[in-house]
């Protein structure tokens, strides 16, 4: 298949592009590099031994987007492009609605124009909001509690309405739990800009000595050790879930929703301990106030994906931490200043035009 991947230079996108290339698919990436670097794709290409086409375009640029679809005529789209910082979405909600919702509308128009109606969308367990009925199952009522989460909820609803209106559409809403880890090569991984919002990259930066200590948000939750529990999922398992969903959509029309999680929760202290054990480094931490908006515990029921997609997460916490640590050690400042050496002419052009 020819798969167009929006946001393919980002964290989850780059790991998925690599698996698509490894499976023999043709891949075109559309990314504006607002939260990524083309260096990730240079490394993906070198790992795969073949190249994805990389286009530096913003989804908000309808004209250019339409042109890319006309040029590439993809069979399917995997849509990762989006802004994802919950706190920033509260202070700049319009930026989030514009980028995530308008960006998706533009994408759908560009797809329709070339009769491409197969779409895998990056949704999030955040659409379950403060639901306390665990484990979270796809039929749990949606109730997002911040603008970022509501962009995901609105997009899910929009996609369901679209599929209901026209049986030619095949759509997957994939609700990720907490993606972590990195490719086993240590060459690609998550490269957060500034202070990481999420636990794992923060802990990794403490272990490598870039930050002093982990602030544990709340030690008095009704959980086994009092700290928050989440369903961490290895990014390689997540990427594999996208390929499984694509395969399913080739044979089934309509909108479908799957949780992608392991079904098992780990506490903040368990994550810190695993990191200290794997890295052999001290990971100092301090328990501080709860972070507003956090729930005590959340983990997936991932049975639907197992039964319908034949997919299940294979990696446990130890493996997630080992891979994350290898990436962090080898790339202490992420992708760093971009090294144009080894880029294809196309990549280099994109780069110089930035
Ligand atoms: P990421 O920021 O690493 O990747 C997103 C990519 O999209 C980046 O390369 C960015 O440059 C690009 N992008 C953003 N806006 C764009 C636009 N308007 N036009 C073109 N490109 C644009 O994030 P990620 O962690 O890989 O997440 C991918 C998707 O999965 C996002 O939609 C995110 O909301 C969703 N998600 C992420 C998590 C998580 O914790 N990482 C959890 C659930 C869902
Ligand atoms: C995990 C646990 C924190 C940082 C977020 C988004 C969600 C989804 C995934 C995109 C919690 C605790 C964290 C720290 C801490 N993203 N923590 N100290 O909040 O489950 O989910 O990312 O869709 O929408 O909300 O993940 O990694 O931020 O937190 O103690 O410095 O770690 O309280 O219990 P979260 P997280």
Domain ranges of the chain: 2-352
Q: Which atom belonging to ligand 1 lies closest to the Cα atom of 60?
A: 18
pLDDT tens digit string along 181-222? 999 999 999 999 889 999 999 999 999 999 999 999 999 999
**Which distant-in-sequence residues (6+ apart) come within 8 Å of 271 by Cβ?**
199, 200, 203, 232, 317, 321
- Token digits of residue 284: 């100092």
| pLDDT reported for residue 353 | 44
Phi, psi of 292 (to 5 degrees): -65, 140
Give me the mean pLDDT over the 223-241 stretch: 98
pLDDT tens digit string along 258-284? 999 999 999 999 999 999 999 999 999
| pLDDT reported for residue 350 | 60
Which CATH superfamily includes the segment(s) 2-352? NAD(P)-binding Rossmann-like Domain (3.40.50.720)
pLDDT averaged over the chain? Answer: 94
Residue 319 Cα to ligand 2 middle (Å):
19
CA distance 167 to 183: 37
Output the pTM of the full model: 0.96
Given the residues 96, 128, 148, 202, the one annotated as active site: 148
Ligand 2 probe mutation, 268, 269, 272, 275, most atoms within 8 A of CB? 268
What is the total residue count of the chain? 354
Q: Is the dihedral of CA 41, 42, 48, 51 positive or negative?
A: positive
Give me the mean pLDDT over the 142-152 stretch: 96
CA distance 140 to 275: 33
How is residue 252 annotated by DSSP?
-
- Token digits of residue 211: 């930050």
Ligand 2 probe mutation, 217, 231, 232, 261, most atoms within 8 A of CB? 217
- Token digits of residue 291: 């972070």
| pLDDT reported for residue 286 | 98
| pLDDT reported for residue 92 | 97
Decide if pLDDT at 326 tops 90: yes
């Amino acid at each position: 298949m020819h798969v167009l991947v929006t946001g393919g230079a980002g964290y989850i996108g780059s790991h998925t592009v690599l698996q698509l290339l490894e499976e023999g698919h043709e891949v075109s990436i559309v990314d504006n590099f607002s939260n990524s670097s083309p260096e990730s794709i240079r490394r993906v290409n070198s790992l795969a031994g073949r190249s994805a086409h990389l286009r530096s375009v913003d989804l908000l640029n309808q004209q250019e987007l339409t042109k890319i679809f006309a040029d590439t005529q993809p069979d399917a789209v995997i849509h990762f492009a989006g802004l994802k910082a919950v706190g920033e979405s509260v202070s700049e909600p319009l930026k989030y609605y514009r980028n995530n919702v308008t960006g998706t509308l533009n994408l759908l128009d560009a797809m329709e124009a070339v009769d491409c109606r197969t779409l895998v969308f990056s949704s999030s367990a955040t659409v379950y909001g403060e639901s306390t009925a665990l484990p979270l199952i796809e039929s749990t009522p949606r109730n997002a509690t911040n603008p970022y989460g509501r962009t995901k909820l609105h997009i899910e609803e929009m996609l369901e309405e679209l599929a209901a209106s026209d049986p030619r559409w095949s759509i997957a809403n994939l609700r990720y739990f907490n993606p972590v880890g990195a490719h086993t090569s240590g060459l690609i991984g998550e490269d957060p800009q500034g202070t990481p919002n999420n636990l794992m990259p923060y802990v990794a930066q403490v272990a490598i000595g870039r930050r002093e200590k982990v602030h544990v948000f709340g030690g008095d939750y009704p959980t086994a050790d009092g700290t928050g529990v989440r369903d961490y999922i290895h990014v390689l398992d997540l990427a594999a879930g996208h390929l499984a969903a694509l395969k399913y959509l080739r044979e089934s029309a309509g909108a479908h929703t799957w949780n992608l999680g392991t079904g098992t929760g780990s506490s903040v202290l368990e994550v810190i301990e695993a990191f200290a054990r794997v890295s052999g480094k001290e990971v100092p931490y301090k328990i501080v106030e709860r972070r507003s908006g956090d729930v005590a515990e959340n983990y997936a029921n991932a049975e639907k994906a197992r039964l319908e997609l034949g997919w299940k997460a294979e990696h446990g916490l130890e493996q997630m931490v080992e891979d994350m640590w290898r990436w962090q050690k080898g790339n202490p400042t992420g992708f760093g200043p971009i090294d144009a050496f080894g880029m294809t002419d196309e990549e280099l052009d994109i780069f110089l035009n930035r």
